[in-house]
Structure 1
Amino acid sequence: MADLFCLSKEIEFRQEYFYRNSLAEENRQKENHAAINIQSWFRACKVRACISHLHKKAVIIQKIWRGFRARSRFRQMVKAAYFIMKMNFYDEMAVRIQQRWRGYYVRKYVHSFYARKNYLENITMKNEQVRKDLDELEELQRRERKRLEMVKEQKAKVYQAHRLHHLVSTKQRPGVFNSPFRRGPHEMELLLRQVKYLAPTRLTSRDRAFQLGTPGPAAPNFPETLESPRIKRTHSQHSSRPTLPPIVSKKPQSSLREPGEVWEQPLHCPKLSLRLQTSYTLLQDVQNNLRQSAQLQCIYTAHLCQQDS
C-alpha cells in the first residue's frame, strides 16, 4: 500500500512537473518576446537620440562653415568694390587733369581765344551787312514790282481812254465821267482830255485781247507815256511791238468809208446813240429829283427827332 501510494504520488508529481514545465515554457516564450520588444525599443531610443545629437552637431558645423565662407566672400566683394571705386576716382582725376592741360595747351599754342573772338565778331558784322543788303534788295524789288504794276495800270487806263475817247466832255454837254455833282472832274475825264482821238484800225489777234481796258495775257507792252498803243514808232524809238501792216482790200466796200472803218464797225461802243434816245432836259430832271429826295430825307429825319424828344 505504501508502495502504491508512493507510486501514485510520484505519478502526480511528474504530471504536476510536466504541467508546470509546460506553463513555464509558455511563459518563457512570452517573456522572451517581451524582453525582445523592450530591448528593441530601448535600442531604437538610443539610436534616435544618437542620430539626433549627430544631426544637431552637423547643423552647427555647417552653419559655422557657411558663415565663414560667406564672410570671406563678402570681404572679397568689398575689396573688389573698393578697388573699382578707387580706380574710377583715379581715372576721373586723371581725365580732369588731362582736360585742364589740353585746354590750356590748345588755348595757348593752337587756337588763340582773342583771334577766334575777332573772327566771330567779323562773321557777325558780315552777317548783319548781308542781311541789310538783302533787305535793301527786297525793298528795291518790291518798289520795282509796284512801279511795274502802276505802269501796267496806267497803260490799261490809257488804252481804255483811247477806246472811250468818244465819251469826253464838250462845251455843249458834259461827258459820262464829268458829273456835275462832283467837286472836280474824274481822273478818267482828265485822261480823256490828254489823249487824242485815233481812227479805228483793224486789230490783230494779239490786240483783240484788250476789251475796254482789260488787257489779256498777250497784251502789248506800252510805254509809260500817254501815247496811244496804235501810234507807229520810228526806228529810233525802242519797242518790242511790231507795227501793224496796212489794210489791203481788192474790192472796196463803200465809196465814203475806208475798209478799216468798215472792219471795225462791230467793235464800236453801242452807247454812242444814248444821247439821241434821251431828252435834252435829262440832266436837269435828274438834278431836280435828287433835290426832292434830299428834302424828303431831311423832313423825315426832323420828324423822327421830334418823336424821340
Structure 2
Amino acid sequence: MATMVRLTKEILPIVKEVYSRKNSAQANRTREYQAAVKIQSWYRALRARAYLRYIIDCSNVIQKRYRGFQGRKEFRVFLKNEVFVMKLNRYNLLATRIQKVWRGFYVRKYIFNYYSFKRYLSSLLIKNETIRETLAAYKEQQQTERMQAEAKAQRENKEAWLRKHHHLVSTAVVPGIYNSPYLPFETEVEADLRNTKPFDHVKKPDGKPKYNPTATRYDLTTPKPPSLPPIAKKPQGPFRQAEEVRQQRYRPFNPSLRVETSYTAVDEAREAMKQQEWVDRVIDTPFKPFTHRHRNYEPLHHTQTTYGHIPYGTAYFREEHSNKFISTQPMKTLVPPIPIFDKLNATYSQGEV
C-alpha cells in the first residue's frame, strides 16, 4: 500500500512532464515541419541543379561531337568543290592557252598572211577596175537609152501637136499663120504641118452592144446599160415604168431550197458520217457483250503455276522466280526511256560536283 502510494506520487510528475513535452512538441511541430520542408527543398534543388548541370555537360559534349562531325563533313564537301573548281579553272586556263596558240598560228598563216593579203589586194584592184568600166558602160548605155526615150517622146508630142493643128496649114488661096508672106521661104513649122497626116475624124465603133428594148433575153456576160433610153411620151394604158420593167427583166435567179439541194445529199452525208466515225474510233473490232462472246477463256498468270494460287507480296515475285511464269521477258515500261537522263553526271560544268 505504501509502495503504491509512493509510486502514485512519483507517476504524477512523470505524467505532467509527458504532457508538458507533448505540448511543447505540438507547439514546435509546425516550425519543425517547415524546417524539414526547407531542408528537403534545398536538397532536392541541389540534386536537380547537379543533374541539370550533368545533362547540360552531356548535351554540350554531344553537340560538340555532332557539330564537329557536320563541320568536317561540310568542310570535306567544300574542299572537294574548291579542288574541283581549281582543277576546272586550271583546265580552262590550259584550254585557253592552247586555243590562243592555235588561233594565233591560224590567223598568222591563213588570215593575216602578208603575201596572200598582197595578192588579194592586187586582185581586188583589178576587179574594182573591171567593175568601174562595167558601171561606166552601163551608165553610158542608160544615158543613151534615156536620151532616145526623151527624143522619141518629143517626136511623138510634136507629131500629136502637128496632127492636132493641121488645119492651120497654108492653102493655095489663104496662107497659114506659120507661113509669112514676108519670108523668102516657108518656115519649119509650115513644112512639118504640110508633111504630117491629120487626125481621122471618123469615129470608130467601140465594140459594145447597143441597147435593144425589144430584146426578149440578154446574155449575162453582156454589160447592162445604166438606164433605159429616155421615152418621149409614155405609152397609153396601164403599163409600168420602163426602169421597173428592166429591173424585173434583169432580176437575179433565186432558186428554191429543193432546187439548190442535191438529190443525193442525204446519202452523201451518211457516207461522210461513216468515214468520220471510222477515222475517230480507236479500235476496229466492234464491242460485244460478255454473254455473246465466242472465244476461249484465257486463264490468269497465277492460275497456271504448279502450286496453285500464290498471294502477292508474301513469298515469291516475278523477278526472283522467273521460271515459274510463262513469260521470261522483263516487264516493259509504258513509255520509252529519255536519252538525256542517261547523260546525267557524265559531264561537268562550272561550280558543280
Normalised TM-score (structure 2):
0.42
Q: Work out which structure has the larger RCO, using CA pairs closer than 8 Å and 6 or more positions apart in sequence.
A: 2
Q: Greater helix percent: which structure?
A: 1
Answer with 1 or 2: which has the greater Rg.
1
